[in-house]
Amino acid sequence: MTPEFIAGILTVAAPLLLAAMGGVVSERSGVVNIALEGTMLASAFAFTAVTHAFEPVGPDGRHLVDAAGAWVPFAGVAAGLACGVLVSLLHALVCIRVGANQVVSGIAINILAVGATQFACTLVFESSSNSARVASLPRWGLGAFTFTPAAWASFVAVPVVTLLLFRTVFGLRLRAVGENPDAAETLGVRPGAIRTAALALSGALAGLGGVVLAADVSQFVQNMTAGRGYIALAAVIFGKWNPWGAAAACLLFAAAEKAQVPLQGKIPPQLAQSLPYLLTILVLAGFVGRARAPAALGKPHESSR
Amino acid sequence: MAAAVEMVGIEKRFPRVVANVGVNLVVEEGEIHALAGENGAGKSTLMKILCGLHAPDAGVVRIFGREVTDFRPAAAIAAGIGMVHQHFMQVPTLTVAENVVLGEEPRRGPFFDRRRAEERVAELGSRFGLPVDPRARIEDLPVGLQQRVEILKVLARGARVLILDEPTAVLTPQESESLYATLRSLKSQGRTVIFISHKLREVRAAADRLTVLRRGRTVGTVPIGEVDEAKIAEMMIGRPVLFEIEKTPAAPAGAVLEVRDLAGGRLRGVTFDVRAGEIVGVAGVEGNGQSELVEILSGLRQAGSGTARLRGRELSRAGPAAWFEAGLGVIPEDRNLRGLIGEMSVADNLILGRHRQPRYSRAGIVAGAARDADAAGLVERFDIRPADPRAEAESLSGGNRQKVVVARELSRVPGLLVAAHPTRGVDVGAIEFIHRSILAERARGAAVLLVSSELPEILALADRILVLCGGAIAGEVRGAEATERGLGVLMTGGAPA
């Protein structure tokens, strides 16, 4: 285990961690958030496009990527966060206000995100497959452990979300709404408002996860999330809806993904690529045991009035 | 002085039903006021209006003389109303303290101040004589303590009027006694109590005054000293109720069910017969093998040893289909779990288990016309309300759900009827109806096995009574000679008197 190998695992884990924390927050409030995938993808694009838009343009019309001010990619980060919140609020509108099926809404958002980012990519970058290279976020840290600020944020997100859920008044209400919204409502807590706030936060976290992905390569690539939102959602379930548990599951995924690289060439590539998923199934079957979901998960709350 | 609660001319309509039409209710400060009525009479709707969960379509609500204009839970709480719901409004995974303070949590900055919440709950518990461990998780507590938490929760919000919806439905007799004591102590501290009930004994035992609702209207309000149980029942149903059911002597014929050394789970070897045309009662404290007996006799559990013959066929290890084919009808212990499928219509529930018969389906396609015609007939014959076979079973009251189960099982024309707690949680009118139906089965010549924890029910119906204790038959008593005391001694393991 070299430091480089561990840093590599953390790099792979960072976007998963953020999305998984978004998943924990949303699911603990009782809303299934399959839309994590689409949220990440949309935010990855928003980061790229807005960073691109603030880059200085030379006399020939070309973007002077390396002459961009240090603040430019941070404007992209802000855009990624905002985009995540907006996509999540769309999910909230459909599932909380209208009371539609949460899984269907999530899938619709994911499909929409793939098409919308491709279309917008064509408009902005004149290519549907990938964007131009954009200004990079700085890398902070020591030795092998240098990451973008967005990736650092993902490591901080785990304890912060834990504190939020288990030590704050908002967290208490959020968990109560996820277990028994009727009970919460009789006590004057508004389940719809709590769930909307939880989704907004979930969107910001997943959105930042998308930003980490795009910032790592300083560009947007078509469908670059490649199922990471779903993996994060799976991590939430493997982690029994607990932030630390979900984080451990994300690290396991990331480790399995890094471990397959040295194995390539020794075993069939298909087998190597499926290693993270096989490992997950084994861990699930062997160690995790029965998990109990929030009791009101997936059930739209109808106010009795 | 103004009354604690005054509700005048209340009306509330829902898309399919009218729940309240012109209801009046006056509750004086510092009294224990019972609100009685059959299932579906509109009691719960009325109370939900009072605690701000519904807004009335018409009518005036005054709380301590002040007219209510804002029908929201928060406003009702602020006015001093606190409701203890029948299905507890709790978050089972949270602690007692967290449940009690939810919605008005003590804070330290943005953080939840757990210590202060726990202190507050402990202090409240000792002030009102309702001790409970603030750190215990709700899901680990027995039902009686969960209810205590619910009461603490409304007291914590400064409730001066406590509403309890069917508070004893889930309690053991001892827990009920302790609840009455709690209510009296709350009254002595100046609180007003409204409790909803359809149990006549309980209304008489605990209340000062009584208001009766029937089909969404107020029948009247009376001081409890002026009415007896028969009068209350008459107010609830609208006609005199016969508590003593007339019973002709049994004329038993050959044995229909022959049970020999049957054991399984807590059941440790029982032997008995049930003959055609007789009702055999099984009495006992719950958990002494009754559930296992019923499960084996309906094919839900395989017997560990012994035999059970229905009309000569050995079925102790057979599944439900074989039992039904041999002529079983069963009213299961838990109607919501095993008697009905809540999301399906009454008509579909009525043909469950017979849906493959040629009358109800051909080549896998349900014959809707036959089903609907038969359902309409059963709904009328068993007086199932609302009289709409398309209604979801879940939308019916407990008593009417049980009537659906009874209707389905009796329409099989069973040779053996196994009835487990057939009137549990059912109101007086439906109890009378179900008892009559069971007696009619006996008169037709069916063998009936009646398992019940209500001794009056067993005494009223059974021709012979078997007492289960520790999984074995502790004694057999002839119905005419049995007394509650005598059975009680056998049930608790004493020698027969």
User: Which chain A residue lies closest to B114 (C-alpha atoms)?
Assistant: A167
Alpha carbon distance B40, B26 (integer Å): 21
Structure tokens at A207: 């959105």
**Number of helical H runs and strand E runs in chain A:** 11, 2
Domain assignment present for residue A301? The answer is no
Domain assignment present for residue B293? The answer is yes
- C-alpha closest to that of B333 among B239, B446, B422: B422
Q: Give me the domain span that covers residue B198.
A: 5-237
- C-alpha closest to that of A234 among A88, A14, A34, A9: A34
Q: Nearest 5°: phi and psi at A19?
A: -65, -40
Average pLDDT over residues B432-452: 93
Using an 8 Å Cβ cutoff, are A23 and A159 in contact?
no
**pLDDT of residue A287 exceeding 80:** no
- C-alpha closest to that of A15 among A217, A197, A185: A217
Structure tokens at A265: 């060439």
* pLDDT tens sequence across B321-346: 999 999 999 999 888 778 899 889 99
Same domain, B289 and B368: no
Same domain, B265 and B162: no
Q: Give me the domain span that covers residue A238.
A: 3-288
A184 contact residues in B (CB cutoff 8 A): 91, 102-103
User: Which three-class secondary structure state does DSSP give residue B227?
Assistant: coil
**pLDDT of residue A265 exceeding 90:** no
Q: What is the CATH number of the domain that holds A175?
A: 1.10.3470
- Reported as a pLDDT band with limits 50, 70 and 90, residue A172 is very high
Q: Which residue has the higher pLDDT, A208 or B285?
A: A208
Same domain, B182 and B314: no
Residue B244 is predicted with a pLDDT of 65
Using an 8 Å Cβ cutoff, are A298 and A30 in contact?
yes
* pLDDT tens sequence across B36-51: 988 778 888 899 999 8
Same domain, B397 and B491: no
Domain assignment present for residue A293? The answer is no
Average pLDDT over residues B458-465: 93
Mention every residue, 6+ apart, whose C-beta is less than 8 A from residue B467: B282, B283, B284, B473, B474, B475, B476, B477, B487, B490, B491
Domain assignment present for residue B493? The answer is yes
Domain assignment present for residue B337? The answer is no
* pLDDT tens sequence across A114-152: 999 999 999 999 888 889 899 899 999 888 899 999 999
Same domain, B179 and B75: yes
Same domain, B349 and B317: no
- Give the CA-trace dihedral at B149, B150, B153, B159, to 10 degrees: -130
Residue B175 is predicted with a pLDDT of 78
Which of B409, B426, B446 terminates a domain? The answer is B409
Say which amino acid occupies B392: E
Using an 8 Å Cβ cutoff, are B427 and B38 in contact?
yes
Domain assignment present for residue B335? The answer is no
Domain assignment present for residue A155? The answer is yes
Alpha carbon distance A90, A86 (integer Å): 6
**pLDDT of residue B99 exceeding 90:** yes
Q: Is the dihedral of CA B73, B74, B75, B76 positive or negative?
A: positive
Inter-chain CB proximity B91 and A168 less than 8 Å: no
Percent of chain B scoring above 70 in pLDDT: 97
Residue to substitute from A167, A180, A303, interface B, most B β-carbons within 10 A: A180
* pLDDT tens sequence across B105-162: 999 988 999 999 999 999 999 988 888 999 999 988 888 889 999 999 989 988 999 9
Structure tokens at B148: 């205590």
Inter-chain CB proximity A168 and B85 less than 8 Å: no
Length of chain B (residues)? 497
Alpha carbon distance A102, A106 (integer Å): 6
CA distance A186 to chain B (A): 6
Alpha carbon distance B489, A187 (integer Å): 46
Rg (CA), chain B: 25
Average pLDDT over residues B171-200: 85
Domain assignment present for residue B390? The answer is yes
Domain assignment present for residue A120? The answer is yes
For chain B, the maximum distance between any two Cα atoms, rounded to a whole number of angstroms, is 78
Residue B16 is predicted with a pLDDT of 67
Q: Residue B331 forms beta bridges with which residues?
A: B419
* pLDDT tens sequence across B377-417: 999 998 888 888 998 888 887 788 899 999 999 998 999 99
Alpha carbon distance A46, A77 (integer Å): 8
CA distance B66 to chain A (A): 21
- The chain B residues in contact with chain A (CB within 8 A) are 48, 51, 53-55, 71-74, 77, 83, 85, 88-94, 98-99, 102-105, 107, 110-112, 153, 157
Closest by Cβ to B102, choosing from A167, A172, A295: A172
Same domain, B487 and B421: yes
How far is residue B278 CA from its own chain's centroid?
27
Domains in chain B, number: 3
Alpha carbon distance B80, B161 (integer Å): 6
* pLDDT tens sequence across B421-439: 998 878 778 888 899 999 9
Among the residue ranges A59-63, B144-148, B157-161, B241-245, the one predicted with the least confidence is B241-245
One DSSP character per residue, A89-146 reads HHHHIIIIIS---HHHHHHHHHHHHHHHHHHHHHHHHS-SSB----PPPP-EEETTEE
Average pLDDT over residues A9-37: 96
Domain assignment present for residue B139? The answer is yes
Domain assignment present for residue B336? The answer is no
Q: Nearest 5°: phi and psi at B54?
A: -125, 150
Same domain, B144 and B39: yes
Angle CA A41–A45–A48, to nearest 5: 145
Closest by Cβ to B89, choosing from A173, A183, A295: A183
Same domain, B59 and B163: yes
Residue B398 is predicted with a pLDDT of 77
Closest by Cβ to A173, choosing from B93, B102, B157: B102
Chain B within 8 Å of A194 (Cβ-Cβ)?
no
Average pLDDT over residues A52-56: 92
Q: What is the CATH number of the domain that holds B317?
A: 3.40.50.300
CA distance B42 to chain A (A): 16
Q: Which residue has the higher pLDDT, B63 or B178?
A: B63
Alpha carbon distance B497, B489 (integer Å): 8
One DSSP character per residue, A228-281 reads HHHHHHHHHHHTTT-HHHHHHHHHHHHHHHHHHHHHBTTB-HHHHHHHHHHHHH
Same domain, B300 and B257: yes
Residue B497 is predicted with a pLDDT of 42
Same domain, B136 and B107: yes
B89 contact residues in A (CB cutoff 8 A): 180, 182-183, 186-187
Cβ neighbourhood burial of B76 (10 Å; 0-12, 13-18, 19+): buried
Same domain, B176 and B283: no
Chains A–B, number of C-beta pairs less than 8 Å apart: 76
Domain assignment present for residue A169? The answer is yes
Q: Average pLDDT, whole number, for chain B?
A: 89
* Sole residue written with tokens 């290890």: B317
Q: Which residue has the higher pLDDT, B288 or A14?
A: A14
One DSSP character per residue, B444-461 reads HT-EEEEE-S-HHHHHHH
Percent of chain A scoring above 90 in pLDDT: 64
Alpha carbon distance A254, A252 (integer Å): 5
Inter-chain CB proximity A186 and B54 less than 8 Å: no
Domain assignment present for residue A300? The answer is no
Domain assignment present for residue B333? The answer is no
Residue A290 is predicted with a pLDDT of 62
Structure tokens at B256: 């229909």
Structure tokens at B183: 């209510």
ipTM for the complex shown: 0.83
Residue A70 is predicted with a pLDDT of 87
Distances (CA, A) of B437 to B382, B443, B455: 9, 10, 19
Helix (H) or strand (E) holding A223: none
CA distance B117 to chain A (A): 12
Residue to substitute from B68, B102, B107, B116, interface A, most A β-carbons within 10 A: B102
- The top-scoring range by mean pLDDT among A203-217, B74-88, B165-179 is A203-217
Using an 8 Å Cβ cutoff, are B373 and B367 in contact?
no
Which of B210, B237, B264 terminates a domain? The answer is B237
Inter-chain CB proximity B94 and A176 less than 8 Å: yes
**pLDDT of residue A305 exceeding 80:** no
Percent of chain A scoring above 70 in pLDDT: 96
Which of B237, B264, B285 terminates a domain? The answer is B237
User: Which three-class secondary structure state does DSSP give residue B95?
Assistant: strand
Cβ neighbourhood burial of B311 (10 Å; 0-12, 13-18, 19+): middle
Ramachandran region, residue A29 (left: φ > 0; alpha: ψ -120 to 50; beta: rest): alpha
Strands B472-478 and B464-469: antiparallel
Average pLDDT over residues A276-282: 75
Domains in chain A, number: 1
Strands B361-362 and B365-366: antiparallel
- Reported as a pLDDT band with limits 50, 70 and 90, residue A244 is very high
Q: What count of other Cβ atoms lies within 10 Å of the Cβ of residue A208?
A: 29
- Give the CA-trace dihedral at B322, B323, B327, B331, to 10 degrees: -140
Q: Nearest 5°: phi and psi at B112?
A: -80, 125
Residue A251 is predicted with a pLDDT of 93
Domain assignment present for residue A299? The answer is no
